Amino acid sequence: MKPHDFDYVRPTELDQVFDLIERHGDDARILAGGQSLMPTLNMRLSAPALLIDINRIDALKGLSVEGDMLRIGALTRHVELEHSPEVARHAPLLTKAIRHVAHPAVRNRGTIGGSLSLADPAAELPACALALGATLVLRGRDGQRRVPANTFFVDLYETARGEKEVLEAVEVPLATSSDRFGFGELARRHGDFAMVGLAAAARMAGGTIERLRLAFFGIGNVPVLSSAADLAAGRPLDADLVEVLRGAVGETLDPTDNLQASAAMKKHLASVLVGRVLGDMME
Amino acid sequence: MTTPISISLTVNGERVEAQVSPRINLVDFIRHQIGLTGSHVGCEHGVCGACTIRVDGAIVRGCLMLAAQADGTDVTTIEGLSDSGDAADLQAAFVARNALQCGFCTPGMLLTATEYLESGGTADRDSIREFISGNYCRCTGYQAIVDAIEQVASQRGRPSK
């Protein structure tokens, strides 16, 4: 189908975006990569009067190391994450995850800020943000505020971003030699939305795990950290632990049935993913 | 009525100036306003890949980008790719291997396969399948398409590792 009529503006400064948001409120939508917004417009699931195209706002671009954080501008496209040596070095979980995000033609346009702001429950990057303990930087007219990923995703397609705010960047703690990361998802076709997915991050201390995060997506309305990960503290990352976690993870999740899979199947697949992803991390 | 947008871009090497309605997507603009109908329109929500177009050197979904957003860009469609000869070996392999029946997906497949090969893709069949996973073909079952891309990768000196 074709979208409803709308007006289109392409500001080059954030202040212009704030002007437009203040003037048009709910009638306006921000257009970043457009790889989720455009389908909803084409299917007429959404019919804003105005699209604010932020693709040419330089303040939202760029990747840089700042202190102990990798700062990733909201307009960074998936393809840039995929091929960035800085990302591979400092946030290798994103490098692993990004090739599961849709298909090359979509990754050439889609942005990390758009994915995080939309907060699709089956999307990879929100779960990665949780597993990494990332911080989302929100910019409003009067300044910026930082929101940890574990409080950013509020409910289905609902985030802590205010109506008059723009997601400016995401900050990821730099990976150290004590960190291990794993990623896996089960989808019906490569690049499709996952039935269930898992982003995992382990901080090691000597031979044992100091902290493990298991961030599941495709489970419920928002990506979730499984409390089963707490069982890993102080234990080595070995086959025994993987068995324990495989058995424990289902009870910590409360999946909802959807077109992709039933709740019971999702619990089973979550356990399968724990085996595969942590198995990879042991190597 | 919404305000038309003036755009200026390059399509297959030719300068194009146009007024577009904001809601016109890039592939509809190319088909209906420029008259190049090699790029096809399938699902119109980014799933099928029939509308694949190259913008500033990278393939995109022509249905998920507005014509207004293409202002200032360099666009290549299947017509431009074909005329350039850069995909001549791929096109010959598609014919030789029977990698198309109805041909609806073929322009998108060729643009995607071209990006795969130009970005260093090898004859590894799994990698080929992963790269073309965003392009639907309802005729061939993909086997012949993968065969054709694999053959060209080998011919271009990039065998499977």
SS3 labels along A17-79: HHHHHHHHHHHEEEECCCCCHHHHHHCCCCCCCEEEECCCCHHHCCEEEECCEEEEECCCEHH
- For chain A, say whether B125 makes contact (Cβ under 8 Å): no
**Chain A closest CA to B65's CA: distance in Å?**
7
Query: Smallest Cβ distance to B3: which of A7, A41, A108?
Result: A7
Residue A98 · residue A112 · CB < 8 Å:
no
Question: Looking at the DSSP assignment, which residues form a beta bridge with residue B153?
Answer: none
* Cα of B95 to nearest chain A Cα, Å: 24
Q: Under an 8 A CB cutoff, do B64 and A103 touch? A: no
- Tell me if B42 sits within 8 A of B50, measured CB to CB: yes
Between chains, do B1 and A5 touch, taking CB under 8 Å as contact? yes
A191 pLDDT above the threshold of 90: no
Nearest beta carbon to residue B133 from set A39, A79, A190: A190
- Tens of pLDDT, residue by residue over A62-117, are 999 999 999 999 999 999 999 999 999 999 999 999 999 999 999 999 999 999 99
* Band (A6; pLDDT cuts 50, 70, 90): very high
Q: Which CATH class is domain A7-52?
A: alpha beta
pLDDT bin (cut points 50, 70, 90) of residue A260 is confident
- Three-state DSSP state, A244: helix
d(CA A279, CA A241): 10
In this structure, are strands B74-76 and B5-11 parallel, antiparallel, or unpaired?
Answer: parallel
**Helix, strand, coil shares of chain A as percentages rounded to 5?**
35, 25, 35
* Residue B84 clears pLDDT 70, i.e. is over it: yes
In terms of Cα–Cα distance, which of A86, A174, A164, A161 is closest to A134?
A: A174
Kindly list the residues from chain A whose CB atom is less than 8 angstroms away from the CB atom of residue B44. Answer: 1-2, 42
Dihedral angle, C-alpha B55, B19, A40, B110, nearest 10 °: -30
* Percent of chain B surpassing pLDDT 90: 98
Q: Calculate mean pLDDT across residues A163-174.
A: 97
What single DSSP character describes residue A231? G
Question: What are the extents of the domains in chain A?
Answer: 7-52, 61-173, 179-282
- Residue A188 near residue A212, CB atoms below 8 Å: no
In the structure encoding, which two tokens stand for residue B112, read together? 């995607």
Question: Measured at the alpha carbon of residue B42, what is the angle toward residues B97 and B46, in degrees to the nearest 5?
Answer: 100
**For A80, nearest residue in chain B (alpha carbons):** B58
Residues A59 and A139: their CA atoms lie apart, in Å, by: 11
Classify A113 as helix, strand or coil.
helix
Instruction: Please give the single-letter amino acid code of residue B154.
Output: S
Q: Which residues of A115-141 are buried (b: 16+ CB within 10 A; e: fewer)?
A: bbbbbbbbbbbbbbbbbbbbbbbbbbe
CB contact under 8 A, B45 and A108: no
Q: Estimate to the nearest angstrom the gap between the alpha carbon of A170 and the chain centroid.
A: 10
Q: Of the candidates A82, A11, A38, A85, which has an alpha carbon nearest to the alpha carbon of residue B58? A: A82
Task: Work out the percent of chain B whose per-residue pLDDT is above 70.
Answer: 99
Is residue A259 predicted with pLDDT exceeding 90? no
Domain A61-173 has CATH 3.90.730.10: no
Q: Tell me how crowded residue A272 is: count the other CB atoms within 10 A of its CB.
A: 15
Structural domains in chain B plus CATH codes: 5-77 (3.10.20.30), 85-155 (1.10.150.120)
Q: At what angle do helices B88-96 and B106-118 cross, to 10 degrees?
A: 130
Query: Which chain A residue's Cα is nearest to B46?
Result: A39
Q: Between B22, B63, B116, which is nearest A6 by CB?
A: B22
Please answer whether residues A270 and A196 qualify as being in contact, where contact means their C-beta atoms are separated by less than 8 angstroms: yes
Q: Is the ipTM of this complex over 0.90?
A: yes
How far is residue A206 from each of residues A163, A236, A237, B155, measured CA to CA in Å? Answer: 45, 9, 11, 50
Are A97 and A128 in contact by the 8 Å Cβ rule? The answer is: yes
Cα separation, A85 vs A63, whole angstroms: 11
The pLDDT > 90 percentage for chain A reads 95
- Banded pLDDT at A1 (limits 50, 70, 90): confident
Distance from the A137 Cα atom to the nearest Cα atom in chain B, whole angstroms: 26
Of A105, A189, A190, the CB nearest to B59: A105
**How far is residue A211's CA from residue B14's CA, in Å, rounded to a whole number?**
57
> Are the beta carbons of A237 and A161 closer than 8 angstroms?
no
User: What mean pLDDT is predicted for residues A170-186?
Assistant: 98
Predicted local distance difference test score (pLDDT) of residue B112:
98
Q: Which of B5, B45, B61 sits opposite A105 (nearest CB)?
A: B61
- The confidence band for B87, taking pLDDT boundaries of 50, 70 and 90, is very high
**In chain B, residues 32-71 whose CB comes closer than 8 Å to chain A:** 44-46, 49, 52, 58-61, 63-66, 68-69, 71
List C-alpha distances in Å: B25 to A178, A256, B77.
47, 35, 14
pLDDT band at A188 (very low <50, low <70, confident <90, very high): confident
Same fold for the domain at A61-173 and the one at A179-282?
A: no
Does residue B22 belong to the interface with chain A, where contact is any CB pair within 8 Å?
yes
Distance from CA of B92 to the nearest CA of A (A): 24
Does residue B76 sit at the A interface (CB-CB below 8 Å)?
A: no
Please give, one letter per residue, the 3-state secondary structure of chain B: CCCCEEEEEEECCEEEEEEECCCCEHHHHHHHHHCCCCCCCCCCCCCCCCCEEEECCEEEECCCCEHHHHCCCEEECHHHHHHHCCCHHHHHHHHHCCCCCCCCCHHHHHHHHHHHHHCCCCCCHHHHHHHHHHCCCCCCCCHHHHHHHHHHHHHCCCCCC
User: Is the pLDDT assigned to residue B161 strictly greater than 80?
Assistant: no
- How many cross-chain Cβ pairs, A to B, lie less than 8 Å apart? 94
Phi/psi for A154 (5° steps) reads -95, -50
The verdict on domain A179-282 having CATH code 3.30.390.50 is: yes
Q: What is the mean pLDDT of chain A?
A: 96
The confidence band for A41, taking pLDDT boundaries of 50, 70 and 90, is very high
Q: What is the pLDDT of residue B1?
A: 65
For B44-70, the pLDDT digits (tens) are 999 999 999 999 999 999 999 999 999
Average pLDDT on A261-273 reads 96
